[in-house]
Structure formats: structure tokens, C-alpha cells
Structure 1
Amino acid sequence: MSERKNEPKLTANMLSGGFFVLVAAGFYTGSRSLGMGTNFQPGPGYMPTIVATLMFCLGIVLLVQDFLGNARSETWVMPKLRPFLSVAGIIGFALLIEPAGFAVAALFLITLACVAHGRIRWTEVLLLAAALISACILIFVVGLGQRIPLLP
């Protein structure tokens, strides 16, 4: 039986290079309608175009290094999803604060952060949420006079 020694595997450099090329294409596409200006007086499209060019070059270098080089990067493994839950909590908080109010948005954020932490007890999560939400209301609404909608 013949074994496949040169079987292509998805590596970290391939994913990184592809990501950089895609983001660079997005930056470039978004900045095409903006004026470039000159080197001495750059326009609004100057910096995004330069960043897109550098990211594109970095992505190509990573891809070429992995395809042509003898030393391939390590095989890509699926990352743990727990760190992404914290980011999702922050995004959810930003999206929920106006339509649902501060209390619901903060409860969503605190719950996702606790789930991302790992081992949780729902009683502790609810007590933590009540304490943090109360403290934020006392500091920002009562103490600083911020006009934050507390409930929908």
C-alpha cells in the first residue's frame, strides 16, 4: 500500500495568508472611491490603500513560504471557542443597549463572560450580575448623571 506523504494539509500560514489577502482586498475595495492625494498631502484613501498593500504582501509571503518552502508551518487546529464568547458578549452588549436597555444588555454580557470562563454556577452568575449592574447604575446613572436607558 502506498502512503500519501505529500498530502496537502491546511496550515496556520495558509489560513493567515488567505485571511490577510481577503482583508486587504476589502480594504482596497473600500478605499478605491476615496482620493489618494500625494505623499506630502495624503488624502483619505492614502492610509487604507497603504495598509491594504502591506497586508496583501504579507499574505502572499505567508502563502508562498508555505507552498514553496521545505519548512511548513504547523497544521491548523480548531481554536477553542471560549475567548470568542467574550467578544460576542461585548458585541451583543453594544447591539442590545439601546433596544433592550442597560440591564438586559449587561446581563447578556456578564452571562456570556461567565460561560466563557468555564465552570459556572447560575446562582453565582445571577448574584454577580445583580451586583455589577447595581454598581454600574449607581456610578453612571446616579453618580455621574448619564442618561442611559435602564429597561426597554
Structure 2
Amino acid sequence: MIIYQRALGLGFMALAVLVFIGARQFPPGAMGDPGPQLLPMLVAVLMFPLGLALALQRKVVDENAQADKGPVDVKRVFLSAALLVLTVVLLFALEWLGTALSMVLYLWIAAVMIGKRDPLSLLRYLVVSALIGGSLYFIFVQVLGLTLPVGLLFEE
């Protein structure tokens, strides 16, 4: 279990660095406006120490998990890698899909990958993902006044 935590933590740290570097390419804000680079930079700054904490964690979170001496669980390694790839793909698709749709898709696909896959669960995941994604988008745009990508698919 610890090897998975370390690998996933290191992966998210690397992703945080890539997101931070990529966000610097967005134009900075002017006259008090935070600009489009603030949100991805903030996510990267928060993601890096969380990845570091996961990578350095010594205690096994799941008491029922096998010790590191057991065989490597290929399914768990694949799932961790797939979630990391999903994160990268949707970060790059953000410009085309827009923030709201990207958040909803990310949450829904991640929930489908991790959870049950019966029709009722898929519908629940979609509803919860839409509520969370829509709420976050509302908070960032309406409450905080941030300018987030609408997506090339939805531009007028």
C-alpha cells in the first residue's frame, strides 16, 4: 500500500509542477482582476504539498491492506495511473470543454472508475458531479468574480 501512495504522491507532485508551469502561459490579471492564471496556479500550489504528504506518509491508511511484502496489485496500479492520466487529459481539454463541463466530466469519470458501475450508481454519480461542478463554477465565477474558460464549444 505504501508503494502506491508514494507513486501516486510523486505523480501528483509532478502534475502540480506541470500545471504551475502551464498556468504561467495564461495572461496575468490587470487592475485588481486575478486573471485566468490564478486558479490553475492555486490548484498546483495546493496539489504539490498534498502529493508530498501522500508520498511521505509512513502509516498505511487501510488497516486491511496487504503489507508491502505482498505481490503488486496490478489493478490498483492501473487505476492510479488511469486517474492521473484522466487529470492530465481534462486539464488540457479545459480550454475546449470549459471549466464547468471539465469539472463535471472529471468527477463523474473518476467516480465511475472507482465506484460501482450499475445504472443507478452511474446516474447518482452524474447528479452529484453536476451539483458539485456547478456549485464550484458558481462560487468561482459569481462569488469570487474569477474569469474561467467557457470552452470553445460554448463560445458565441
Instruction: Tell me the TM-score normalised to structure 2 length.
Output: 0.44
Relative CO higher for 1 or 2, CA cutoff 8 Å, sep ≥ 6? 2
Instruction: Tell me the TM-score normalised to structure 1 length.
Output: 0.45
Structure of larger gyration radius = 1
